[in-house]
Structure 1
Amino acid sequence: MGIIDETNWHCFLDCVGDLLFTPEVQSMRDIPHHPGTCCYEHSVFVAYVAFRLARRWNLDYMAAARGGLLHDLYLYDPRDKSAHPGNQCFDHPVFALRNAQALCGRLTEKEQNIIISHMWPLARRMPRCPEAAVVNLADKLCATAEVLGYWRHSRVREKAMS
């Protein structure tokens, strides 16, 4: 079985559908990310891979999907140094967590840890639950696929952008 099938895609949408079409998440389409991707594409890719891994490993796949989608909800152009005073690698999880809390209201402790720790080990905040570790892993896998150009031909990208 490939990475994407209709049953899993519909279950994934059940987890994140209320967030996907919000103006905040949709605005991530305008934020550049890794080469050839926008922040929205990257976040959907991470969320879906984390969802599939968490589901396979009998973890809280809803938290993994939602945290994965929101992990880069920093909502500024990282190339614009006036938008964030410090280092993007360390700053953006804090901005993403604040924006996710503003968007969703109350986040679970898992969702908070997923967002704030996704840059570990580069940043000091460690994953404190298996779902945060899964999103951390998915983020690294997806970033690598994007940088190497595999994402451009992905069925997940086709689904995410439709």
Structure 2
Amino acid sequence: MRLLTRVEIQRLVAEHGREVLEHEHMQIERGCYQHGNVTTYAHSIRVACLAVWMADRARLWRRVDLKSLIRAALLHDYFLYDWHDWDDGTHRWHGFTHGGAALANAHSDFELNEIERDSIARHMFPLTPMPPRYIEGYLVTLADKLSATKETLSLDRFNKPSRPR
């Protein structure tokens, strides 16, 4: 069985994530930085592509729901605010609380299945006490940690352009 190319993975994310990517609220994520100089929008796409890549390399296609994996990855940080902005301290616990905020926002904008809901809510494990219940959730969690680490440690983080709002 042949492995997916980067372009094929990007096409799968675009195809299965179209409803999410085209939603008007995803445009908010284009104007919010997540890690370093990477917007939440770009981070979410990176996580989706990496999660699909990992599922492909681990040959998990008989055990993974591709559409749910992609949608959960795209929505895992759908909290719709810039957590770096001053807010009198409500974002102080962002690492612990944003999974719930992302789930609430995603639930109000999209019809979610159980895999998607669980993967979004629990993607911050171990900061959140409950681990994901599905393979898709573990793939999103791992892809998020790897992407966040790379984005945070990148020297490009010092070249942050003005906000893309």
TM-score (norm 2): 0.82
1:3 to 1:83, Cα distance in 2 relative to 1, 3 A? farther
> Does residue 1:69 correspond to 2:74, yes or no?
yes
* Higher helix residue share: 1
Aligned to 1:155: none
Point out where structure 1 has 5 or more consecutive residues left out of the alignment: 153-162
Contact 1:25 1:40 in 2 (8 A): yes
1:85-142 deviation line (CA, Å, top 9, x unaligned): 65111111111000001110x2111000110001001111311111101100000111
- Percent identical pairs in the alignment equals 32
1:94 is paired with a residue of what secondary structure? helix
Shift, 1:8, TM fit = 2.6
1:60-88 deviation line (CA, Å, top 9, x unaligned): 12111110000000011212334836511
Mapped partners of 1:54, 1:93: distance in 2: 22
Aligned to 1:158: none
> Does residue 1:51 correspond to 2:69, yes or no?
no
The number of residue pairs the alignment matches comes to 151
Mapped partners of 2:71, 2:12: distance in 1: 12
> Does residue 1:109 correspond to 2:114, yes or no?
yes
Contact 1:15 1:65 in 2 (8 A): yes
Structure with larger RCO (C-alpha < 8 A, sep 6+): 2
Mapped partners of 2:77, 2:53: distance in 1: 19
In angstroms, what is the RMSD of aligned CA positions? 2.4
Aligned to 1:42: 43
1:71 to 1:83, Cα distance in 2 relative to 1, 3 A? farther
1:13-61 deviation line (CA, Å, top 9, x unaligned): 1110121121111210111111111111111100111122234421112
Q: Which has the larger radius of gyration?
A: 2
> Does residue 1:122 correspond to 2:127, yes or no?
yes
1:87 is paired with a residue of what secondary structure? helix
Point out where structure 2 has 5 or more consecutive residues left out of the alignment: 158-165
Moved over 4 A (4+): 1-4
The 5 Å alignment of 1:1-162 reads: 5-55=6-56, 56-58=59-61, 59-79=64-84, 80-82=86-88, 84=90, 87-104=93-110, 106-149=111-154
TM-score (norm 1): 0.83
